[in-house]
Structure 1
Amino acid sequence: MALGQQHVLSFSPDGKLFAFINDQGILRIWDTETNELKQEYTPNIQLSGPCTALTWVITSFAGDGIVEGKKTKKSRKPLSSSSKDGQEIYIALGTSNGKISLYSYALGKIERNLKGEGHSGKVTCLAQDAEGHLFSSGEDCQIIVWSLSDEKQLSSWSVGTEKPYSIIYLGISNNVVVGGRQIKVYSVATQELVQTFTGHTSDINLISSLILDECTEYVISTSRMERIICLWKIGKKGRNKSASSTLLMEDVAHCITCQVDNDRNVRVASVTRSGVIHLYLIPAENIKPEKPIKPKLTIEVASDSSTVIAPIPAVAASLQHTIRSEELIFGYGNKSFLVFEHIKPNFTEKLQVLIRTDPKTLYLTRGKLLKKDGKAVTSQKIVTPIVNDVDVDYKSSVTVSKKKLKAAEMPMESRLQNLNLNVAPGSGTPQAQSKVQLLVQALHSKDNVLLRSVLHTHDVKTIQLTLHKLPVQYVGPLVQELTQFMEQKRMNVEYAVDWLKILVQTHSSQLMALGSDDLLNKFGPCIGIIEHRVNCLKELSKVSGRLDLLINQIKRNTNEDNLNSANVLVYEDNDSSDSDLDDANDKSASDDEWDEDIEDSVENMDQDSQDNDESENDDDGEEMET
């Protein structure tokens, strides 16, 4: 079973253990009876790669440790929880480099590695049959059959061009059901395609099986992007067959399980992305493709806080692995703190709310109680070194009195440099910072407020630093969140376009390595939204152009009215007062000139008269002398 695109989980056959692989490919194993984290295995990424698929297997090995005529290094230690004599419970792990390993719960490490070429890509799913064979599917579109007793690869065949993401084995018909874009049924004996079912619109990531009668088998499946569960009847040969029945959910499923009770009723349980458990009760006679079936019972878990009642998400559920019949085992909490319970569904109610203590608070309270009791809380991986007190040389710490300490005096030049008085303007602007930690936290917790605080920026340097340090496994969730941004207001669309542009430039090599199918799955919704907006742009451009023409015409009419109302020619008539003043000024100027001319003429006449008088006097004197 898988949780989302990267999470993988499964219960043990007896339901006492629960295995889970997180985003980093780390395996964690819980005890469902004591709610304790028993083991945590971190693979060597350089050698084997992170874990991508798991399944619990029951296998038998020779007690003397001889396999294929070769003596092993040491005899295998049987598990304390082995189901039968000589049989041991392991966890088959598929890695990103296409190899299969067997993890021993008793030893807490990888005990065996299956030999063979393996897959050329990531292992997507694992399944086991009753004869000690293991089936694996990979991104290389291959199905490989492994022998657990011989620890080697037996055979392989191709399933076409569609990548398989889920696989399950059917014991009655001896078939293998592979889920990609379609559901394909292959015969294990002949490796031929027997049946093909169509109905899902995206990759099928969850598949489970049930046996209604001794000869009737059903398969239930759901895809990554759909809120429906389909029931398929395995029968005769045929292609493109439709589903026998359809179940409705409120959100995408992260885990599905099914069971047939004593009354021949089909029970189906699904855990959605929002942490809600849906239960369906379908009589065998009502499995018909006519009408979709709604959940009979919905189970939600809420905290018992007195201040704020917050929902506690359910992580996994199973109907097949419970100890008591017709009961449901489920786990709730988060990836680090899980609590498991058994419950008998009450189908007389449509909604059942369970008030429980938050697992994180429960773990913290347990730790405080252990500290108060004086019990040492130690982890399994913490090793205390054994030290002989005789060989220990204790060093005394040297203390320095405060009187001997001298205050360091800083010169004035250094103080002025620290004040940054000569800093050029604009050089003190804050530098761009990476927000990769906040972005990863927001993508993990699905916190819209935190996500908006990170994505609401147009700073190119900040976006480049954040996306450069973003791990590759978070590119897909980020594209989904940016796709949701593209569906919102114009402001969010601008932010989404900035981030998408730099995201494609930064992680272009990783995106090209995915292939055309995976790349189309990741960017398909975003491309569809962009094309829809571009198609609307043409019509909006027409409307904008017509509005511009209308506005320009209105402005032109307004300007013509202004020109007609204004005076074309203005004639200014001088006032009489101004002309009189000008005439007076001209007259006064001419009078002054006239007076000056008269004075000049008078002076000339006086001068002439004086000259005449002098000449007459001279003549009289001459006459007297004579």
Structure 2
Amino acid sequence: MAAAGAGGVYEALPPPCSFSPGRRELLAVSGLDGRIAVWDSRRGALLREYVPSAHLSATCTCLAWAPSRGGPESHQKKKRKSESVDKDPQYDLLTIGTATGTILLYSIAKGELQSKLQAGGHDNRVNCIRWHQDNGFLYSCSDDKHIVEWSTQTYKVKCKWKADNSGVSSLCVSPDGKMLLSAGRTIKLWDLESKTLSRQFTGHSTAVTSLMFIRPPGESQSSSDTTGLYFLSGAVHDRLISVWQVRTEKKERGAVLSFTLADFPVSVDLAPSDSKDEPLKLAVVCRDGQLHLFEHVLNGNHKKPLAPTCTVQIATSGSDEDSTPKPVPILSAGFCPDKESMFLYYGSSMQPLIEQVALKTDETHICLVRDVHKTVKLRKEEAVTRVKTPVVKPDTTVLVPGIPGHSSAVSITSRSQKDRKRKPGDKEASIEDRLGAMDIDLPKVPIKGGLPQTDSFAVLLVQGLESNDPNILNRVFQTKNESLIKKTVQRIPVYSVIPLVHELAKRLQGHPTSAMLMVRWLKAVLVNHASYLSTLPDLVPQLGSLYQMMETRVKNLQKMSRLNGKLYLLVTQVAASEIAQRSHTNQEAKLVYEEESSEDESGEEEQNSDSDDNWEEGEEEANEGAELGTSDSEEEMNVDKVNGDSDGESEDESDDD
């Protein structure tokens, strides 16, 4: 059974708790103050209570039971009646992980701390602890991105390696003890002998808090065949339990099956099947306090998420004044060895109520009515104090706190005045009149717009974050006015910035319309409180889940923008063609102009066309004409020359004469 602690991304989860394996006879519960209580599941009696020395500064973050010892030792001395403890003798050692990175080994039989694992280990919060069934090694993971292998014989670090770029939130050892699963936002399969990465699985956008191997039916625990080996995983703010198959032949990374939930899981337990035809049983407790039971036969891929076969809820019968039943949250659940009944842990960590219930899965919804107020009988101890309350006489002058020597005094009313009942006609003095009677100089601060309203968005937002009231938060987050969002974010105190970011990150994973509103709030937070966020030393793990979720959201943004551009071009072209068709509907000319010589021009065109057809003959005739012309001109020139010469000679002759 997996249970996660509180702190960081685990703020929404209850304190860690864990049933002992096997017969589920012990339940270890951690309180909000770090106290560890071990309860008897069958009798509901408190067996042990351990208070760590640094329980206020190093609260418990995870719990894990060590493997069974296989029965009591033969050479062990017989215990006295005062030392005997009614418990399961096979499970004695409880492992406690703390927020400072220290791992504690607590012995239930002795009621004391057996060992402390610290040197060379983690320097940040421990998120998960798992034991090896055979060699007795201990594996732990932390927010410091590392996995540590501890030797329980020497209580020292045997091996340490970096497993992820962000914090590692969960671990699980395979049934044959040769493989180790680790998960942050990515699930990785490691070979324990060589500490090398074998496979990697992706499918969760937030930190994985539940990891569990599912052994195939009909195979022994030490079998090394991983062909039919499955494992399941659940993450924070993820309402699905994914089932993966560890295959050596195919390299499929997607989940083969998923179980749908009403809220994200806080506790998971599994009852494996004994045969291939028998379905496995899965019990998941969600954050809303409901238990969901699933029954399914693992036989390959299943695309559609499976709904729970049965949902269990506990409610009160109602008091005398108010007859309305009120729900009682279930905090954890564990299957009994018969697989037909379960141990339910509900109530609170101060006084847990543990009950063994036989459930019938043929009913889709089961509501168990329990009178919690009569069952729980808290023992109220009177505080022992030596301080006595002073007796104030009527003539005593009491000075109000403030500057020493303050002259304003509070009048002490006599007992007769206190006991006197106010008549119907008397008016009760207001607070302003009472302050004026005390003669206290109040600073006059001009407030724009009158007195501050108690129902302002900044006040409501802080109240909703502190009380985790969804009604108040929904009222605030529904606004779409960016100016109002900006002013509200500016007025909230700095200690509410990180809870606001976590609430926005959780709501961003909801409906797309809600995500659009949350983006405006997130933008205002990052713009107005960037200086405060930059001073936080653990800013990366605080905003890691938000960054990872935003990265998965915008993963396909580039492809979608390209598709949007292509569709826009197509739509605009279709619209333009429709407009063009509408504008060219009337093709008839409104006015035609004809010239008078159109027939002559047509005749000339016909002649020109004829001449064009016989253009070769025309050119030949022109060439011949040109040759004849040149010859004729040459002959005329020769004749002229002859005549000229003769004329000149005759003229000369005449002159001589």
Tell me the TM-score range normalised by the shorter chain. Answer: 0.5 to 0.7
Q: Equivalent residue for 1:74?
A: none
Q: Equivalent residue for 1:480?
A: 506
Q: Equivalent residue for 2:291?
A: 277
Equivalent residues, number: 489
Q: Equivalent residue for 1:97?
A: 100
Match of residue 259, structure 1, among 267, 271, 290? 271
Structure 2 gap ranges (5+): 74-81, 400-406, 410-434, 566-657
Letter in 2 for 1:246: S
In structure 2, distance between residues paired with 1:527 and 1:19: 38
Match of residue 39, structure 1, among 49, 54, 77? 49
In structure 1, distance between residues paired with 2:446 and 2:205: 58
- Check if 1:2 corresponds to 2:24: no
Identity %: 22
The Cα offsets for residues 171-198 of structure 1, whole Å up to 9 and x where unpaired, read as 3252111123332221222222233333
Are the counterparts in 1 of residues 129 and 139 from structure 2 also a CA contact under 8 Å? Answer: yes
Q: CA deviation at 1:297?
A: 1.6
- Check if 1:245 corresponds to 2:257: yes
- Residues 188-337 of structure 1 mapped to structure 2, 5 A cutoff: 188-211=192-215, 212=217, 213-214=219-220, 215=223, 217-236=229-248, 239-262=251-274, 264-284=278-298, 286-305=299-318, 307-319=323-335, 322=336, 324-334=338-348, 336=350
Q: Equivalent residue for 2:85?
A: 80
Match of residue 131, structure 2, among 123, 128, 131? 128
Distance change in 2, residues 1:513/1:353 (3 Å): same
Letter in 2 for 1:293: L
Letter in 1 for 2:330: A
Decide which moves more: 246-255 or 477-486.
477-486
Match of residue 522, structure 1, among 518, 543, 546? 546
In structure 2, distance between residues paired with 1:489 and 1:219: 32
Q: CA deviation at 1:224?
A: 2.2
Q: Equivalent residue for 2:353?
A: 339
Letter in 1 for 2:24: G
In structure 2, distance between residues paired with 1:493 and 1:115: 42
Q: Equivalent residue for 2:176?
A: 172
In structure 2, distance between residues paired with 1:201 and 1:428: 45
Q: What TM-score results when the alignment is normalised by the length of structure 2? A: 0.61
Q: Equivalent residue for 1:513?
A: 538
Structure 1 gap ranges (5+): 65-76, 368-375, 386-391, 540-626
- Check if 1:12 corresponds to 2:26: no
Distance change in 2, residues 1:527/1:430 (3 Å): farther
Are the counterparts in 2 of residues 16 and 33 from structure 1 also a CA contact under 8 Å? Answer: yes
Give the match's secondary structure for 2:121: coil
Letter in 1 for 2:20: S
Match of residue 145, structure 1, among 146, 149, 170? 149
Give the match's secondary structure for 1:247: strand
The Cα offsets for residues 25-56 of structure 1, whole Å up to 9 and x where unpaired, read as 6645444334466636366278x733322212
Q: Equivalent residue for 2:469?
A: 447
Distance change in 2, residues 1:312/1:503 (3 Å): farther
Are the counterparts in 1 of residues 25 and 88 from structure 2 also a CA contact under 8 Å? Answer: no
Q: CA deviation at 1:363?
A: 5.8
Are the counterparts in 2 of residues 59 and 148 from structure 1 also a CA contact under 8 Å? Answer: no
Q: Equivalent residue for 1:597?
A: none
Letter in 1 for 2:85: S
Are the counterparts in 2 of residues 207 and 220 from structure 1 also a CA contact under 8 Å? Answer: yes
Q: CA deviation at 1:103?
A: 3.1
Are the counterparts in 1 of residues 26 and 38 from structure 2 also a CA contact under 8 Å? Answer: yes
Distance change in 2, residues 1:337/1:453 (3 Å): farther
In structure 1, distance between residues paired with 2:398 and 2:169: 69
Give the match's secondary structure for 1:521: helix
Distance change in 2, residues 1:275/1:363 (3 Å): same
In structure 2, distance between residues paired with 1:31 and 1:443: 36
Match of residue 62, structure 2, among 49, 53, 67? 53
Are the counterparts in 2 of residues 328 and 344 from structure 1 also a CA contact under 8 Å? Answer: yes
Are the counterparts in 2 of residues 261 and 326 from structure 1 also a CA contact under 8 Å? Answer: no
Distance change in 2, residues 1:502/1:325 (3 Å): same
Give the match's secondary structure for 1:241: coil
Are the counterparts in 2 of residues 458 and 495 from structure 1 also a CA contact under 8 Å? Answer: no
Q: CA deviation at 1:166?
A: 0.8
Are the counterparts in 2 of residues 52 and 96 from structure 1 also a CA contact under 8 Å? Answer: yes
Letter in 2 for 1:316: S
In structure 2, distance between residues paired with 1:503 and 1:100: 36
In structure 2, distance between residues paired with 1:277 and 1:99: 32
In structure 1, distance between residues paired with 2:388 and 2:465: 49
In structure 2, distance between residues paired with 1:349 and 1:228: 22
> Which structure exhibits the higher relative contact order, with contacts defined as CA atoms closer than 8 Å and separated by 6 or more residues?
2
In structure 2, distance between residues paired with 1:267 and 1:421: 68
Q: What TM-score results when the alignment is normalised by the length of structure 1? A: 0.63
Distance change in 2, residues 1:352/1:134 (3 Å): same
Give the match's secondary structure for 1:117: coil
In structure 1, distance between residues paired with 2:193 and 2:173: 13
In structure 1, distance between residues paired with 2:316 and 2:185: 39
Q: CA deviation at 1:468?
A: 2.8
- Residues 550-561 of structure 1 mapped to structure 2, 5 A cutoff: none
Distance change in 2, residues 1:336/1:468 (3 Å): farther
Q: CA deviation at 1:436?
A: 11
The Cα offsets for residues 70-99 of structure 1, whole Å up to 9 and x where unpaired, read as xxxxxxx99836755xx7623222233322
Match of residue 418, structure 1, among 427, 439, 448? 439
Q: CA deviation at 1:19?
A: 3.0
The Cα offsets for residues 424-458 of structure 1, whole Å up to 9 and x where unpaired, read as 75599768999999878744764223446788996
In structure 1, distance between residues paired with 2:236 and 2:196: 27
Q: CA deviation at 1:308?
A: 1.3
Distance change in 2, residues 1:22/1:254 (3 Å): same
In structure 1, distance between residues paired with 2:116 and 2:156: 9
Are the counterparts in 2 of residues 482 and 500 from structure 1 also a CA contact under 8 Å? Answer: no
In structure 2, distance between residues paired with 1:396 and 1:467: 38
In structure 2, distance between residues paired with 1:406 and 1:135: 67
In structure 2, distance between residues paired with 1:343 and 1:406: 65
Q: CA deviation at 1:165?
A: 1.4
In structure 2, distance between residues paired with 1:291 and 1:483: 20
Q: CA deviation at 1:474?
A: 7.6
Decide which moves more: 237-246 or 121-130.
237-246
